[in-house]
């Protein structure tokens, strides 16, 4: 029996006509991804179904961020994989070496915002900091106080990292970091408190709080078990982060128009 097709919840603007045919070619061409790869076990029906949801989700992301299409593909440097296998037990991941973000066929929906921000955080690192480490994320470079490149947009980005990683005074660690570090200790791992993971989850929360709603793009930052553990921003910190992201991406979009 075939796996039932995932039907996401969505509330947002119309990006295409009802009879418009959308395939992954249209997704690639609209946003300028350098490549799209589909797994061999994805049926034609599943592929066509997923392409429509990817298209709408990425259009929604573009509208929420108020940026043009080439920001979504990071100026054509980002690739997209769907149902290609990836890592065992992982619904989605971003590969810094290949510069691709990949979603599993059945478990990936809802992970786009998280993985896209990993890609963005990686892309922006050598543009916001004078670094030679090709695997460094911008959030990590900020935390390690790498040599920053002065630019008004970078200052707005750094304000995002500060809102995520530090408390409101800027002198101590944030509640999000404390909860994430506690969960790492409980599990005996180093993962949730990594700056790039904190930042990706904070970005998820920002996207889920937007007026446009799309569960193929993001879900789980409010009522999931991870949210209950404090692994997503909450309360005043969430508001500060949302405001910082909104200022940054609004300014980025205005600069690129």
Name the E strands within the chain. Answer: 10-11, 36-38, 79-82, 92-95, 100-103, 213-214
pLDDT at 86 over 80: no
Within 8 A by CB and 6+ apart from 195, the residues are 137, 139, 140, 142, 143, 161, 164, 165
Please report the pLDDT score of residue 88 as a whole number.
54
Per-residue confidence band for 200, with pLDDT thresholds at 50, 70 and 90:
very high
Least confident of 7-11, 151-155, 229-233: 7-11
Taking residues 228-236, report their average pLDDT.
98
- Regarding pTM above 0.85, the answer is yes
Least confident of 87-96, 105-114, 185-194: 87-96
DSSP state of 19: T
Taking residues 106-113, report their average pLDDT.
84
Please report the pLDDT score of residue 108 as a whole number.
74
């Amino acid at each position: 029996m075939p796996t039932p097709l995932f039907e996401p919840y969505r509330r947002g603007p119309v990006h295409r006509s009802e009879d418009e045919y959308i395939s992954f070619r249209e997704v690639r061409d609209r946003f300028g991804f350098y490549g799209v790869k589909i797994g061999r076990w994805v049926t034609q029906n599943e592929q066509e179904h997923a392409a429509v949801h990817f298209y709408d989700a990425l259009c929604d992301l573009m509208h929420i961020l108020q940026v043009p299409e080439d920001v979504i593909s990071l100026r054509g440097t980002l690739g997209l994989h769907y149902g290609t296998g990836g890592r065992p037990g992982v619904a989605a991941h971003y590969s810094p070496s290949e510069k691709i973000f990949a979603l599993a066929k059945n478990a990936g929906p809802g992970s786009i915002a998280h993985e896209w921000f990993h890609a963005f955080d990686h892309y922006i690192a050598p543009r916001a900091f004078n670094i030679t480490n090709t695997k460094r994320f911008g959030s990590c470079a900020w935390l390690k106080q790498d040599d920053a490149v002065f630019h008004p947009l970078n200052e707005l980005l750094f304000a995002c990292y500060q809102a995520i990683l530090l408390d409101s005074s800027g002198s101590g660690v944030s509640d999000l970091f404390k909860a994430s570090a506690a969960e790492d200790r409980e599990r005996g791992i180093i993962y949730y408190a990594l700056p790039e993971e904190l930042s990706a989850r904070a970005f998820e929360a920002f996207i889920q709080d937007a007026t446009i709603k799309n569960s193929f793009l993001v879900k789980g930052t409010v009522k999931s078990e991870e949210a209950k553990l404090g692994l997503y921003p909450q309360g005043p910190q969430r508001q500060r982060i949302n405001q910082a992201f909104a200022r940054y991406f609004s300014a980025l979009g205005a600069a690129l128009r």
